[in-house]
Amino acid sequence: MPTRFVDWWRQMTTQDRPMLVRLLLVGSLGVGLLAFSGLGSTPHKATTPNPMATSLAGQEAIVGTQLTHILEAIPEVGTVSVAVTLDRTIQSQYVTSNQGLSSPSSSPVTVTNQQGTSVVPLDQVGPLVGGVVVVAKSANNPNIRSELAEAVQTLLQVQAYQVLILPN
């Protein structure tokens, strides 16, 4: 067994040449696969729109669509129409230079890295739901009506008086 690298290299180049060729081929194949593994793939794009970039009506539509999909997944419910009324959009709060919440007189703290400049977030306050109306054919059944009401109250964290379930 060789004790030094020079002795090992001499043995590989003179006596074990086929082994050296195989090692080099396997190594170059591995490097090639690593180099070309990202080709042909597209970057992942978000499928849902960014709620921060939409208006109050846009956010109402987004919440309504998401709620519709969830309610329609409940057994025996069928087709559902949902209307959501928001009193406030999603609001972000940022760290400011005076260590407090963002206010009109203070500027947010920004961080610059290779991707660009971004604001340091502190918290995000969700939209404030004013009310929800659900129209479903199966709402004639009191059990399904109760399940729909409970689902809406749980998902949106609203009170029973803010939810109205109507039969179609």
pLDDT in tens, 86-111: 887 776 666 666 555 545 556 667 77
Both tokens of residue 67? 């709620």
CA dist 65 and 134 (Å) reads 12
**Residue ranges of the domains in the chain?**
5-36, 51-90+126-167, 92-123
pLDDT, tens digit, 9 for 90 and up, residues 131-167: 999 999 999 999 999 999 999 999 888 899 999 999 9
Supply the pLDDT for residue 142. Answer: 92
Q: How confident is the model at residue 15 (pLDDT cuts 50, 70, 90)?
A: confident
- For tokens 């043995």, the residue is 11
13: CB partners within 8 A, 6+ apart = 20
- Closest listed residue to residue 107, CA positions, set 99, 116, 90: 99
Q: Provide the greatest CA pair distance for the chain.
A: 88
- Please count the other Cβ atoms lying within 10 Å of the Cβ belonging to residue 35: 9
Supply the pLDDT for residue 45. Answer: 47
Supply the pLDDT for residue 105. Answer: 53
More confident residue, 39 or 50: 39
CATH topology of domain 51-90+126-167: GMP Synthetase; Chain A, domain 3 (3.30.300)
- The chain-wide mean pLDDT, for the chain, equals 78
Strands 91-94 and 128-136: unpaired
- Closest listed residue to residue 163, CA positions, set 71, 72, 73: 71
Residue 139 contacts residue 109 (beta carbons within 8 Å): no
Supply the pLDDT for residue 151. Answer: 92
- Closest listed residue to residue 107, CA positions, set 119, 123, 116: 119
